[in-house]
Structure 1
Amino acid sequence: MKKLQISLKPGGRIYVNGAVLKVDRKVSIEFLNDVTFLLEHHVLQPGDTHTPLRQLYFIIQTVLIDPANSEDARSMFHSAHAALLASFKNSTIINGLVEVGDAFERGRPFDALKILRPLFVIEDEIIAQGMRPERTEIQHECEAR
């Protein structure tokens, strides 16, 4: 693996292998081995999960942030992913969801997030045009909680 260097601003957070690190000053961190991490600006808060694709992103993010307790999130991913594949008609989103599923199944949830993020724009356009996908199983689960 190549060395990977990350710079954080004061007050910045990074999620590393399930741990949340917050820095009090500008700092650079160099990862010398394989590590799973998310930068704070890639983390969706629960209130930001107002669309089906963002809800799927949140589920995958949960697997990364809390790997010790990820079984429930993995199960939710499989249900939500199948429901979304059946709900969307846009070929770009469907192809993206297939790639997301492949990456997730290969144990590459971070790659799944990278594939999913650009699809938000297309989903937002679909919603703006009033062609909202049918309510998905994941939306029903979230509302029930």
Structure 2
Amino acid sequence: MTLRISLRNGEPLIVNGAVLRSVGRTDLVVENGATILRGREVMKPEEADTPARQLYFACMMAYIDQSELQKHQDALLARLEGLMAALEAPEAKAVCIRFAQKVATGQFYPALADCRWLIGYETDVLGRTAKAA
């Protein structure tokens, strides 16, 4: 499966754990399987400051750091359990279940998309809560 990636000038890219940075606008074609995250998909530890963001960070680490997979999966399960307990909306719970199914089968990259949805949902709910207060 071929994957085409376009990077902006200076955008970082993680490939199989190695951090690369583009010089100028760069187009890459990946011709075989690799663990890849573009800079805009990478979250720094200090940015994981909400339950959904902590879930994203744990999933991201499980994806890019296979050498510590069990540790990251344990963190993922703990974060997911806490988030599921806090959620009330059926749609958000359904996204968590879909996320868990992907994680269970090692599909960490697609699971990150579910986390991005949860981050958006969380941001929206926190915004409404702040306005109501």
Compare 120-129 and 57-66 and name the one that shifted more: 120-129
Q: Distance in 2 between matches of 1:116 and 1:5?
A: 23
Q: Distance in 1 between matches of 2:76 and 2:68?
A: 14
Q: Distance in 2 between matches of 1:47 and 1:102?
A: 27
SS of 2:91's partner is: helix
- What letter is aligned with 1:71? Q
Q: Distance in 1 between matches of 2:65 and 2:53?
A: 18
Q: Distance in 2 between matches of 1:37 and 1:102?
A: 21
- Contact 1:5–1:28 under 8 Å retained in 2: yes
- What letter is aligned with 1:41? R
- What letter is aligned with 2:55? L
Compare 121-130 and 110-119 and name the one that shifted more: 121-130
Query: Are 2:120 and 1:121 equivalent residues in the alignment?
Result: yes
**How far 1:79 sits from its partner (Å)?**
1.4
Q: Distance in 2 between matches of 1:10 and 1:122?
A: 31
Larger % of helix: which? Answer: 2
Query: Are 2:6 and 1:7 equivalent residues in the alignment?
Result: yes
Query: Are 2:109 and 1:110 equivalent residues in the alignment?
Result: yes
Residues paired across the two proteins, number: 130
Q: Give 5+ residue unaligned stretches, structure 2.
A: none
**How far 1:23 sits from its partner (Å)?**
2.1
Aligned equivalent of 2:51: 52
Q: Distance in 1 between matches of 2:25 and 2:120?
A: 32
Aligned equivalent of 2:20: 21
Aligned equivalent of 1:90: 89
What pairs with 1:72-83 in structure 2 (closer than 5 Å)?
72-83=71-82
TM-score by length of 2: 0.88
Aligned equivalent of 1:37: 36
Q: Distance in 2 between matches of 1:129 and 1:8?
A: 35
Q: Give 5+ residue unaligned stretches, structure 1.
A: 132-145
